Amino acid sequence: MIAAPLGALRHRLGLLLGRLQGLALPLRAEATLVTLTRDAVATSAIEGDLLDPMAVRSSLARRLGLERGGNVSSDRATDGITEVLVDATQRFCAPLTTERLCAWHGALFPTGRSGLARIAVASWRRPEMEPMQVVSGPPGRQRVHFEAPPTARLPQEIARFLAWFEAPPDVDAVLVAGIAHLWFLTLHPFEDGNGRIARAIADMALARADGSSLRAYSVSAQLEADRPRYYDELEAQQRGSLDITGWLVWFLASVERAVDRSETTLATVLHKDRVWRRLAGGEVNARQRALVNRLFEGFEGHLSTSKYARLAKCSADTALRDVVELVERGVLVRNPGGGRSTSYRLATNEELAELGELGS
C-alpha cells in the first residue's frame, strides 16, 4: 500500500533535487529562500498566526546571508519561526536533542506568552495543564479531538522519540518525516507551538532524506492548503489504532502535491533571475528594487503609480519617473487602457527573453 507511492515520490524528489543542483548558486539560494518563506508563513497560518511574507523573507535572508532578500523589518515572532526553520533545514545533520527542541520553543515564544496567556517556555508542559486536550467549539459544547499523554511520562517518551529519530532508520527516510510528525504531535510536550515544531521536525527529516539543505517544496504550505483534511487525518489516527498506514499514505500524497507546486517555485525563481539580469545593465534605486521584490511576493492587483507612491512613500512625480524607467528597460509592461486607470505588470519570462538578458 505504501511501496508504490513511496517509490514514485522518491523518483520525483530525486529529479527535483537534480534540477536544483543544476542551477547556479544564486538561483539555488533564491529557491530555498522562496520555499522557506512559504513554509514559515504557512506553518504559522495553520495555527492562526498571519505573518507578513515580506518581513518573513527579509528575516530569512538575513539568517541565510543573502543580499537580495529584502530589507523589511521583522518582529520577534517572525524572527522566531525563521530561526527554527533555518536551524531545522540548514543544520539537518545536527542531532535533534531535548535542548534543541526547547531552544526552538523559546524562539517561537520570546515573550513567554501565547497571545495573552503566560505559558511555560523552553520546557515541557506543566502538570497543572492536565489533561492536555486539543479541543474545538464554544465553551460547554467543546469537542475533544485528542488527549496527550500525562506530563509525568514526557521525559521518558521524549527520550524514546529522540533515540528513534537519531538511530539509523529502519524505514525509508521520507517515511521518518511522516512518523516523526505524528509521533511528536501525539506527545504534545509543550503548552503551545507543538504543530509548528512537529512540522519543523518533518522538514528536518525530509532534508535528511534529500541529503541536502536546498529546498524547493513546502509541505507546510500544502498542509495549510488542506488544513481541514489535515486535522481530520490527525484526529482519525490519534483516535484510532496503532496502525499508521493510512496516515503515511496521506502524508506521502501531501508531499507529492507539495512537489507539484515546486514547479511554480522554480518558474518564479527563473523569472526573477531574468528580471534582475535585465536590470543589471544600469542603476536600480532602492524604491525600484523594493517594488520588483514586492511584485514577486503576491502583490494584489495591478500596479499603478498611485500604489507605487504609497508603497515607496514618495511623490506621484517620483513614482511615475521610477515606473517609466522600469517600463523603458522592459521589466514592467503597461496594461491596455489609459488615463487614470493606467496600470502595469511584470514582463513575462517570454517577453524578457525576446528583449535579451541584459539592459542597456
Distance of alpha carbon 340 from alpha carbon 149, whole angstroms = 63
CA distances from 294 to 52, 297, 343 (A): 12, 5, 16
Buried b / exposed e over 335-346, threshold 16 CB at 10 Å, is: eeeeeeebbbeb
Q: At what angle do helices 25-46 and 194-210 cross, to 10 degrees?
A: 150
Tens digits of residue pLDDT in 30-55:
999 999 999 999 999 999 999 999 89
Strand 117-118 vs strand 133-136: parallel, antiparallel, or unpaired? unpaired
pTM (predicted TM-score): 0.85
Question: Residue 139 burial by CB count (10 A; 0-12/13-18/19+): exposed, middle or buried?
Answer: exposed
Distance of alpha carbon 92 from alpha carbon 211, whole angstroms = 9
Q: Give the pLDDT confidence of 136-195 residue by residue, as tens digits.
A: 666 677 777 677 889 999 999 999 999 999 999 899 999 999 999 999 999 999 999 999
Q: With contact defined as beta carbons under 8 Å apart, do 208 and 93 qualify?
A: yes
70: buried, middle or exposed (CB in 10 Å: 19+, 13-18, 0-12)?
A: buried
- DSSP 8-state assignment for residue 41: H
Q: What distance in Å separates the CA atoms of residue 168 and residue 216, rounded to the nearest whole number? A: 26
Cell 483534511 belongs to: 229
Q: Give the pLDDT score at 360.
A: 40
Residue pair 16/197 in contact (Cβ under 8 Å)? The answer is no
pLDDT under 70 in the chain at which residues? 67-71, 135-139, 145, 298, 356-360
| Phi and psi, residue 114, nearest 5° | -115, 105
Check residue 138 and report its DSSP letter: S
Sign of CA dihedral 47, 49, 54, 55: negative
296's grid cell: 514577486
The radius of gyration of the chain from alpha carbons, rounded to an integer in Å, stands at: 23
**Hey, where are the domains in the chain?**
3-268, 284-355
Provide the pLDDT for residue 355.
Answer: 80
User: Which element (helix H / strand E) includes 136?
Assistant: strand 133-136
Superfamily of domain 3-268: Fido-like domain (1.10.3290.10)
Q: Where are the alpha helices (DSSP H) in 226-304?
A: 227-238, 245-279, 286-295
Choose which CATH entry (1.10.220.70, 1.20.120.450, 3.10.130.10, 1.10.10.10) describes domain 284-355. 1.10.10.10
Q: What ranges in the chain are assigned the alpha helix state H?
A: 3-21, 25-46, 53-64, 76-90, 98-108, 154-166, 173-187, 194-210, 219-225, 227-238, 245-279, 286-295, 305-312, 316-328, 349-355
Q: What is the pLDDT of residue 166?
A: 98
**Pairs from 1-7 (Cβ < 8 Å, separation ≥ 24):** 1/245, 1/249, 2/175, 2/245, 2/248, 2/249, 2/252, 5/249, 5/252, 5/253, 5/256, 6/172, 6/174, 6/175, 6/252
DSSP code at position 298:
-
